[in-house]
Amino acid sequence: MIKSIFNPIFISHYSYLFWIIIGVNLLMILIIFILGYKESKK
Amino acid sequence: MFFYNKRIVKKNIGCYTFNSDDIMKIINTLKTKNLASGYLYFYVHLITEVASFYYLSKVTNGAHFIWLIPFIYDALAFVPQGIIGYINDKIPKLNMGLIGVILFMLAYILYIIKFPYIFLVLIIVSLANAFLHVSGAEVTLRSSNGKLSHPAIFVGGGSFGVIAGRLLATTSISPWLIVFLVLTMIPFILLAEGYTKKNKTCLYDCASKKINPYLIIMLATFVVIIRGYIGYGIPTSWNKTTLQTVFLFSTMGLGKCLGGILADAYGVKRIGIISALLAIPFLLFGDNLMMVSLIGVMFFSMTMSITLALIVSVLKDKPGLAFGFTTVGLFLGTIPIFFISITNKILNASMIVVASIICALIFNIIIKEEKVYS
């Protein structure tokens, strides 16, 4: 019904890059949501 | 000729009577002052996606790390737009469009000289894409005087560019042609910058006053997330040839443009709810019927500009940040497709129905009542 298509082999050689991208993205999303909250109060 | 002599030409569409006044209304929407920014950035957006997808298709062709490349592209082209947009909101004199062109030039020169670190080039391509999107959002939203047509026409150009870029990558054309196309964006960006009259504050006002403004942003972003995910689950067994793929992407682009144009003519709430609900039967029963499916895809794509207008209605003087919320939503919506695949058709169809009804309900709650058409 729901099949996992995630293959860790794809990122095994580039795991550092994958996790950097994930980390940076989470940080950016957090900043965007905080900025949105602040600006919506104005 | 019947456009001008006001003779009423009636044609029944469901329970609603479509007449020549409707056509005049749509034509008048397209004549809106400053719509030029939408048309100029339609081209810029198209070329942006051509340059992005030409490169993506070239580097993913035969690469063993094929999974990671689209993921990095999605992450770095979509998410930073909120941050770049906020910086542009604070420093409007920064021309993000020209920065995007310079980044594209740099990326393509590295690609042409066969620079060994393809991930670095990929990151530059993604950021170039992000800068150009922010530029388009800032110009079209600020110059639109509260109309949705401008950003809708700008957004619609992307779908045509995605398929054009992918097709060009299958040919043996020189990448220098893409460099040339990237350079042709410069006069369009400068013209849009100089020709359009930009307002300090966006004049959108379609969000309900009864709901907390931040909740409106969250709910509109949620709509983008679920529509972004469902977009990949649309059943299109009919899509087997290149020409059919061209039709699919062109219909997406047309739907995005039409969403804004029709919302200006008939009201944001009406078009938002109708497009979300009408898409359901066409998407479900169009799996093997191209025309039926394309009608569904068109309705499905029409909500893009509506969610953007809702967020800008709250963040009136921060259109760049508002645009960033929609792109974050698209990224969050596409994340699951990298990890899971739904193989059961009934489950997939159920998800489309439930998601579309949720979208329509959210639109009904967060879009304010309007008297646009009687």
**A6, two tokens:** 């995630």
Give the containing element (helix H, strand E) for B268: helix B268-285
What are the two backbone dihedrals, phi and then psi, of residue B340, each rounded to the nearest 5 degrees?
Answer: -130, 155
Query: Which one of A28, A38, A42 would you mutate to disrupt binding with B, by most B Cβ within 10 Å of its Cβ?
Result: A28
Mean pLDDT on B222-230: 89
Mean pLDDT on B236-264: 90
CATH numbers and ranges of domains, chain B = 14-366 (1.20.1250.20)
DSSP secondary structure string, B332-369?
HHHHHHHHEEE--HHHHHHHHHHHHHHHHHHHHHHBPP
- Tell me: the pLDDT tens digits for B253-303? 999 999 999 998 888 999 999 999 998 888 888 888 889 989 988 998 898
Give the residue carrying structure tokens 């109708």: B274
Query: Which positions in chain B touch A40 (Cβ < 8 Å)?
Result: 213-214, 217, 314-315
Give the residue carrying structure tokens 């989470």: A26
- Tell me: the pLDDT tens digits for B59-108? 887 565 567 788 888 899 999 999 999 999 999 889 999 999 999 999 99
Chain B, 160 to 219: residues with Cβ < 8 Å from chain A are 213-214, 217
What pTM did the predictor assign? Answer: 0.88
**B91, two tokens:** 């420093």
Give me the count of residues in chain A.
Answer: 42
pLDDT band for position B346 (50/70/90)? confident
Is residue B84 within 8 A of residue B328, CB to CB? The reply is: no
DSSP B207: B
Secondary structure of residue B185 in the 3-state scheme: helix
Q: What is the pLDDT of residue B373?
A: 46
- Tell me: the pLDDT tens digits for B300-344? 889 888 999 999 999 988 999 999 999 999 999 988 887 777 777
Closest CA to B170 of B54, B69, B49: B54
- Indicate whether this complex's ipTM tops 0.90: no
Give the residue carrying structure tokens 């770049």: B84
Q: What is the pLDDT of residue A13?
A: 63
Tell me: pLDDT of B135 over 80.
Answer: yes
Mean pLDDT on B44-64: 87
